[in-house]
């Protein structure tokens, strides 16, 4: 009897097997283990495709979905039970455990892979596998394909002649979030919202950026998150203008803005939220002007998010509000249509507005269909994250220099529009200042 959670993974495997058809196979290795130095490993995080199809977080495993053996369509090759190793690394499910706990049809010792894999490729002409990702398993798979080819010369059966990228199978499934996934994303969003609110309350001049980061990490872990979804960006003052600043070691000063781009990962689902707020006080007038432009841009882009719209439409909506604001305050030249055509806003808003989000913060899924940006559909989740970054040496009026702002939420496309999964994180000037001045 497998758990309801395993039933979700089993249903996904079934769907994928149906999608690849009787002569297709899907092969997904577990994430490789990476050595940090000597015999110490980097912390292990399972490959998202593998976890999506199995719910299994052990390393040194390979999932094979194939119709070659009708009774063994879902098969896992795994580390065997080994009390002497389990003393060091913790319990393993082993070949029998993955059948009883995860609901696969069969489990085998990973040491049997080279011998058994060619048999699962007999009668298979198409293998869905991420060729070119550099996974150490590549060599084993190619050897198995070679062995299947040799066997086919005698048996006359099909052997793999085509590799299909996961983009067209698993990743298309992952792009559309099911209810179990949305539940995890909502829970990750709730913990992330708590952490951002805590940051707004605790940040004070004289503290280091990493102290605020630590306060957020504390809430992430207490909330049940295994890890952050990406390295947190906690950039104060001019560091807020560095898009992927991660040093997080500056001592904050009165009058700084603090840009925090941080989200937790919960049950393998990410959240990705950015807020920008004054450290222990109120926005200065120039900060407030640029903040209101960025917020209006983000709200306009969120409003444009609905089935049928494209990410280019959403970006255009965000960029035109920023361009209009920058023209109004003399940071770029108008008129608006020319500024948009020449993308003059790019000096201060140099990235795109959105990416898919799900198990991976920059999630899988095709952005284009037939060479054109694909229309949004219900079940997709994307970020909306416009920003305005005025470098310290920018050729603009001095009062704007060194101001960096980004505001980011995670947006689910619904049948009649959208739902902001991270709406609980305050972002109006009044709501933000209520927290940043709460201890004053």
- Please identify which of the residues 217, 408, 409, 410 carries the catalytic annotation: 408
- Please identify which of the residues 101, 261, 267, 363 carries the catalytic annotation: 261
Please state, in angstroms and rounded to a whole number, the distance separating the CA atoms of residues 284 and 67: 65
Among 58, 101, 272, 360, binds ligand GLY (CB under 6 A): 272
Please write down the long-range contacts of 330-333, taking CB distance under 8 Å and 24 or more positions apart: 330/396, 330/397, 331/390, 331/396, 331/397, 331/400
- To the query of whether residue 351 is one of the catalytic residues in this protein, the response is yes
- Please identify which of the residues 328, 362, 392, 397 carries the catalytic annotation: 362
**Residue among 54, 55, 36, 57 nearest 46 (CA):** 57
For residue 335, whether the previous peptide bond is cis, meaning omega lies within 30 degrees of 0, is: yes
Among 198, 230, 292, 419, binds ligand GLY (CB under 6 A): 230
- Please identify which of the residues 69, 246, 351, 374 carries the catalytic annotation: 351
Residue count (the chain): 440
Please state, in angstroms and rounded to a whole number, the distance separating the CA atoms of residues 153 and 201: 70
Q: Which does 124 bind (CB under 5 to 8 A by kind): Mn ion, ligand GLY, none?
A: none
- C-alpha neighbours within 13 Å on the C-beta side of residue 354: 31
Please state, in angstroms and rounded to a whole number, the distance separating the CA atoms of residues 70 and 398: 71
- To the query of whether residue 406 is one of the catalytic residues in this protein, the response is yes
Q: How big is the CA angle at 161 (ends 160 and 162), to the nearest 5 degrees? A: 100
- To the query of whether residue 272 is one of the catalytic residues in this protein, the response is yes
- Please identify which of the residues 34, 39, 153, 285 carries the catalytic annotation: 39
Among 385, 409, 410, 433, binds ligand GLY (CB under 6 A): 385
CB of 261 to ligand GLY, least distance (A): 5
Q: Which does 230 bind (CB under 5 to 8 A by kind): Mn ion, ligand GLY, none?
A: ligand GLY
Task: Return the number of the residue (252 or 407) whose C-beta is nearest Mn ion.
Answer: 407
Tell me the per-residue interface mask from 405 to 434 with ligand GLY, x by CB under 6 A, - otherwise.
Answer: ---x--------------------------
Task: Return the number of the residue (299 or 408) whose C-beta is nearest ligand GLY.
Answer: 408
Q: Is 360 in the site for ligand GLY (CB under 6 A)?
A: no
Those residues whose C-beta lies under 8 Å from the C-beta of residue 156, and which sit 6 or more positions away, are none
Q: Is the dihedral of CA 431, 197, 244, 310 positive or negative?
A: negative
CB of 147 to Mn ion, least distance (A): 43
Give the orientation angle of helix 138-155 with respect to helix 113-120, to 10 degrees. 50
Q: Tell me if 405 sits within 8 A of 239, measured CB to CB.
A: no
Q: Which chain residues interact with Mn ion by CB under 5 A?
A: 261, 272, 274, 383, 408
Please state, in angstroms and rounded to a whole number, the distance separating the CA atoms of residues 191 and 120: 43
Q: How big is the CA angle at 84 (ends 81 and 85), to the nearest 5 degrees? A: 65
Q: Which does 6 bind (CB under 5 to 8 A by kind): ligand GLY, Mn ion, none?
A: none
Task: Return the number of the residue (92 or 177) whose C-beta is nearest Mn ion.
Answer: 177
- To the query of whether residue 367 is one of the catalytic residues in this protein, the response is no
Task: Return the number of the residue (231 or 333) whose C-beta is nearest Mn ion.
Answer: 231
Six token digits for residue 306: 């609905």
CB of 224 to ligand GLY, least distance (A): 21
- To the query of whether residue 362 is one of the catalytic residues in this protein, the response is yes
- To the query of whether residue 312 is one of the catalytic residues in this protein, the response is no
The CB-nearest residue to ligand GLY is 261
- Please identify which of the residues 272, 299, 410, 433 carries the catalytic annotation: 272
Q: Is 261 in the site for ligand GLY (CB under 6 A)?
A: yes
For residue 145, report the phi and psi dihedrals to the nearest 5 degrees: -65, -40
Tell me the per-residue interface mask from 338 to 357 with ligand GLY, x by CB under 6 A, - otherwise.
Answer: -----------------x--
CB of 246 to ligand GLY, least distance (A): 10
Q: Which does 163 bind (CB under 5 to 8 A by kind): Mn ion, ligand GLY, none?
A: none
CB of 405 to Mn ion, least distance (A): 13
- Please identify which of the residues 9, 406, 409, 418 carries the catalytic annotation: 406
**Which residues here bind ligand GLY, judged by CB under 6 A?**
230, 261, 272, 355, 361, 385, 408
Q: Where in the sequence numbering do the catalytic residues fall?
A: 39, 244, 261, 272, 351, 355, 362, 385, 389, 406, 408
């Amino acid at each position: 009897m497998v758990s309801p959670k395993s039933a979700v993974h089993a249903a996904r495997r079934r769907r994928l097997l149906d999608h690849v058809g009787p002569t297709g196979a899907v092969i997904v290795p577990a994430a490789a283990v990476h050595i940090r130095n000597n015999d110490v490993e980097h912390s292990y995080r399972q490959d998202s495709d593998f976890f999506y199809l199995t719910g299994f977080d052990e390393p040194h495993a390979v999932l094979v979905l194939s119709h070659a053996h009708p009774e063994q369509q879902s098969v896992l090759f795994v580390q065997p039970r080994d009390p002497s190793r389990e003393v060091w690394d913790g319990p393993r499910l082993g070949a029998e455990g993955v059948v009883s706990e995860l609901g696969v049809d069969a489990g085998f010792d990973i040491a049997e892979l080279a011998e058994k894999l060619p048999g699962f490729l007999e009668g298979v002409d198409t293998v869905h596998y991420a060729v070119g990702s550099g996974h150490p398993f590549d060599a084993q798979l190619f050897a198995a394909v070679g062995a299947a080819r040799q066997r086919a010369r005698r048996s006359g059966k099909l052997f793999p002649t085509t590799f299909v990228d996961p983009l067209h199978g698993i990743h298309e499934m992952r792009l559309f979030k099911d209810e179990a996934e949305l539940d995890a994303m909502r829970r990750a969003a709730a913990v992330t919202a708590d952490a951002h609110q805590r940051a707004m309350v605790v940040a004070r001049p004289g503290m280091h950026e990493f102290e605020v980061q630590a306060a957020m990490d504390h809430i992430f872990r207490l909330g049940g998150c295994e890890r952050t979804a990406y390295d947190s960006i906690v950039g104060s003052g001019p560091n807020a203008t560095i898009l992927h600043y991660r040093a997080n070691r500056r001592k904050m000063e009165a009058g700084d803005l603090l840009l925090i781009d941080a989200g937790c990962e919960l049950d393998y689902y990410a959240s990705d939220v950015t807020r920008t707020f004054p450290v222990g006080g109120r926005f200065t007038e120039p900060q407030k002007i640029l903040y209101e432009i960025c917020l209006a841009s983000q709200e306009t882009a969120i409003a444009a998010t609905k089935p049928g719209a494209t990410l280019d439409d959403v970006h255009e909506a965000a960029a035109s509000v920023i361009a209009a604001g920058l023209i109004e305050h003399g940071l770029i030249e108008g008129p608006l249509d020319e500024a948009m055509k020449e993308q003059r806003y790019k000096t201060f808003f140099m990235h795109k507005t959105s990416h898919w989000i799900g198990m991976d913060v920059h999630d899988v899924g095709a952005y284009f269909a037939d060479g054109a940006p694909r229309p949004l559909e219900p079940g997709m989740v994307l970020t909306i994250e416009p920003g305005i970054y005025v470098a310290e040496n920018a050729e603009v009026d001095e009062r704007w220099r060194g101001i960096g702002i980004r505001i980011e939420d995670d947006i689910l496309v619904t049948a009649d529009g959208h739902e902001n999964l991270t709406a609980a994180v305050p972002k109006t000037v009044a709501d933000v200042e209520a927290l940043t001045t709460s201890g004053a």
